[in-house]
Amino acid sequence: MRTLQMTFDDDLVAELDQVVQENHTNRSAFTREALRMAIALYHQRKLVEKHRAGYLRHPVAPDEFSVWEEEHTNWRKWIRLSALP
């Protein structure tokens, strides 16, 4: 593990201190988890953008998902019937 020095606004530090106290953790642990979540969100957004760009280049064909839609509808009907006494 490496040590990093970072600068934060006073109001952000005050809010951070309140959150870590409420959660019985410390600044470092909370910040590590927050950074992990932010990095995961960053990668997820990049993937969504990649998919969006792909669908713009190659739009969905009108019947591309018709089989899935039919199976999904039938599954929902089965669930309702199986809930009957």
20 domain residue, yes or no:
yes
41 belongs to a structural domain = yes
pLDDT tens for 28-74 read: 999 999 999 999 999 999 999 999 999 999 998 888 777 767 777 77
SS3 readout for the chain: CCCCCCCCCHHHHHHHHHHHHHCCCCHHHHHHHHHHHHHHHHHHHHHHHHHHHHHHHCCCCCCCCHHHHHHHHHHHHHHHHHCCC
Please check whether residue 4 lies inside any domain of the structure.
Answer: no
In this prediction, residue 34 carries a pLDDT of 98
pLDDT at residue 56, rounded to an integer: 93
Number of domains the chain contains: 1
* Residue 3 within a domain: no
pTM value is 0.67
Band of the pLDDT at 84, cuts 50, 70, 90? low
Is residue 40 a part of any domain in this protein? yes
Residue 37: give the domain boundaries.
10-82
Per-residue pLDDT at 19 exceeds 80: yes
Q: Is residue 51 part of a domain?
A: yes
